Amino acid sequence: MNRTTLITRAVWAAVAALSLCLFPHPGVAGADGPADEVRFVEVVRANLPYYVIPGGRFATDPQVLASGYRACAELDRSPTDAMRAARAFYPGGNTTDGAIADDGHRFLQYSAIYLCKRHAHLYDDF
């Protein structure tokens, strides 16, 4: 990795952390352990279609991160039921027929893996 990439990642991490401090979401859950926020945003952007990302293609990295923490808050409310958490996170579903696509579940899975590892076990069989 070159120096510019490292600096860019550090700046994005600082922006994300600052945005969560300045604009906290009422449902933001705290990370347990070392959260890899930059990696979460990268994985979401690289692997998920825009329609499952709250804010879609226009969501900023700090907004994507805040949505990840919102997903963690829903997982906190339903710590044994990933489907219930997904329904709360996407109340109308994330498809035109009201269903939650696998990509929608993967958004919550990535949140659990990178931001709130205490819920990662819910996706062991996913």
Q: Which two tokens stand for residue 38?
A: 């930059």
Q: How far is it, in rounded angstroms, from Cα 17 to Cα 93?
A: 29
Task: Output phi, psi for 79, to 5 deg.
Answer: -65, -10
**What's 34's DSSP letter?**
-
Report whether pLDDT(117) > 70. yes
pLDDT in tens, 46-79: 999 999 999 999 999 999 999 999 999 999 999 9
The helix (run of H) or strand (run of E) holding residue 27 is: none
Give the angle subtended at the CA of 12 by the CAs of 21 and 66, to the nearest 5°. Answer: 45
pTM for the model: 0.72
Distance of CA 32 to the CA centre of its chain: 14
pLDDT tens, 74-113?
A: 999 999 999 999 999 999 988 888 899 999 999 999 999 9
**Is a pLDDT exceeding 50 seen at residue 25?**
no
